Amino acid sequence: MCAVVGVFGAEDASKLAYYALFAMQHRGQESTGISSADGERIHLIKKRGLVTDVFHQGRLKLLEGSCAIGHNRYSTAGKDSVLDAQPVFAKYKLGEISVAHNGNLTNKYEVRDELIEKGAIFQTGMDTENIVHLIAKSSEDKLKDRIKDMLTKIEGAYCLIIQSRTKMFVVRDRFGIRPLSLGKLKNGGYIVASETCAFDLVGAEFVRDVEPGEMLTFTKGKEPKSEMIFEADPHPCAFEYIYFARPDSIIAGKTVYNMRLEMGKQLAKETPAKIDLVLPVPDSGVAAAKGYADGMGVPFEMGIVRNHYVGRTFIEPTQEIRDLKVKLKLSPIKDMIAGKSVAIVDDSLVRGTTSLQIVRMLKEAGAKEVHMRIAAPEIKFPCRYGIDTASKNELISAYKTVEEVRAYIGADSLGFLSVDGLKESLGDDTKYSLVSFDGEYFAGGNADSPGCSAYA
Ligand code: AMP
């Protein structure tokens, strides 16, 4: 969840940040913000809403300076306060600072309680405020050293972009859980963004990923300075490839679309079905369904039409609204489906709501048999590293067997990708964060600890 961007050394920095945030709108739709630095002060605009609603020419003009950082915030059930928008700005001993954060700190309550004990006050429940406080409280003389000091006190998943009036600092946690890449701008300057799809829109050239454990310092007139703060232990998040990232983005050298095709092909090997047709759940299941159809040697059809004017189903707080929204969003092409045995492929199954509704919809459209295929393993554990997957008691696969879930959603068969199959699809050149599937909380936290949406 969430997107971050940082632009440094560009005349129209805030405009470029705006374009980058627009390209990464899928990572968060609740609120958006940009802060810019003109050498003397930091300007900030952040509001609830989509990037194109919040920013227009007039507002961008106010965001002067050659450095701009920005953030899109993911919607979490029931929490929609504008106070939770980022970047977080503060004045402190060394001047002004602005912070954008993607990820989730697993020790946020320990750190917060300690800070409160010492008299700190908080405006929001966001872990990002911890970061600002830790920097402000550090006794180091330079901001860079204060940031390093702060980094020794936080744990979990983070991609951080920190702006002062003259500099920009970028840090990625040592596990590299959330993606973060560095690009070079055409007319000079650099851009750092959660996803490479942002570079394509602003015409930036991809340079490399920010390394796990790395800190980059951007200073006027100089090339970015790289320092390894922590020893890297890469565990890129498998869920970025499964669902979250845009298919045209490249994460750790791998194009997301290709990974989804591989997962679909692997799914065909592991759970074939006697079918006439493969349909995707649009848009999330499209690439995996294509892979499944290719693997099965069966035609692929866009047999379910999506209404693009409805938001994501997952973000709606009550079950009743969620149920209705699937129908508002998706509708089958009856001619294509009636009398056929179909496989319907989605990228993941969380509560089972989408699958249940779609199976029912396809049966009502006259399908002879409906075989549900999920191009991810069963989600049994809540992620604590920045993907907002419900709490454990809402995860249907945490409590039900595959057969019980099949019965619940009313499909003729149900197949998940195995954890080994997922690893094989992604390639065995690195370890992945598979915490939702295997419950190995390698970066701190556990199934019962508060997740991203559990803000105070
Ligand atoms: P559910 O209906 O609860 O089983 O959720 C599964 C659907 O939600 C699938 O269509 C996924 O594409 C989508 N999904 C999975 N994870 C997330 C997430 N973290 N945020 C939003 N949507 C998600």
Q: What is the pLDDT of residues 192-226, one digit of tens each?
A: 999 999 999 999 999 999 999 999 999 999 999 99
Cβ within 8 Å of residue 419, ≥6 positions away: 377, 434, 437, 438
pLDDT at 455: 37
Mean pLDDT of 249-265: 97
Closest CA to 6 of 144, 105, 132, 99: 99
How large is the C-alpha radius of gyration of the chain? 22
Average pLDDT of the chain to the nearest whole number: 93
Q: How far is the CA of 416 from the centre of ligand 1 (A)?
A: 15
Counting from 1 in the atom list of ligand 1, the atom nearest the Cα of 387 is: 19
Rounded CA gap, 60 and 110, in Å? 38
389 Cβ inside 6 Å of ligand 1: yes
Rounded CA gap, 193 and 179, in Å? 8
Task: Copy the structure tokens of residue 127.
Answer: 């872990």
- The neighbouring-strand residues paired with 158 are 103
Where are any strands of DSSP class E within 61-188?
67-73, 88-92, 95-105, 156-163, 168-172, 181-184
358 Cβ inside 6 Å of ligand 1: no
Q: How far is the CA of 31 from the centre of ligand 1 (A)?
A: 20
Task: Copy the structure tokens of residue 1.
Answer: 């969840």
Report the largest interatomic distance among the alpha carbons of the chain, rounded to a whole angstrom.
Answer: 73
Select the more confidently predicted residue: 384 or 161: 161
Task: Copy the structure tokens of residue 347.
Answer: 């990228």
352 Cβ inside 6 Å of ligand 1: yes
Closest CA to 283 of 226, 324, 245: 245
Q: Which helix H or strand E contains 18, and what residues bound it?
A: helix 13-23
Check whether 238 has a pLDDT greater than 90.
Answer: yes
DSSP assignment of 190-203, as one string?
EEEESSTHHHHHHT
- The amino acid present at 315, given as its one-letter code, is I
Alpha helices in 96-196 (DSSP H): 108-117, 127-137, 143-151
Q: Work out the angle between the directed axes of helices 127-137 and 108-117 (0-180°, nearest 10).
A: 50
| Centroid of chain to Cα 294 | 28
416 Cβ inside 6 Å of ligand 1: no
Q: What percent of the chain has pLDDT over 90?
A: 84
Closest CA to 250 of 205, 190, 312: 205
Q: Which residue has the tokens 């509708």?
A: 331
**Number of residues assigned to the chain:** 456
Rounded CA gap, 21 and 109, in Å? 29
Closest CA to 242 of 413, 371, 422, 67: 422
Question: Could you tell me the pLDDT band of residue 77, with boundaries at 50, 70 and 90?
Answer: very low
pLDDT in tens, 274-314: 999 999 999 889 999 999 999 999 999 999 999 888 755 45
Check whether 456 has a pLDDT greater than 70.
Answer: no
Counting from 1 in the atom list of ligand 1, the atom nearest the Cα of 346 is: 10
For each of the domains in the chain, give its residue range(s) and CATH number, in order of start. Answer: 3-234 (3.60.20.10), 257-428 (3.40.50.2020)
Q: How far is the CA of 243 from the centre of ligand 1 (A)?
A: 8
Q: What pTM, to 2 d.p., does this model score? A: 0.94
pLDDT at 452: 52
For ligand 1, atom 12, the nearest C-alpha belongs to 284
4 backbone dihedrals φ, ψ, rounded to 5°: -125, 150
pLDDT at 454: 38
Q: How far is the CA of 156 from the centre of ligand 1 (A)?
A: 23
301 Cβ inside 6 Å of ligand 1: no
- End-to-end, the C-alpha distance of the chain in Å comes to 18
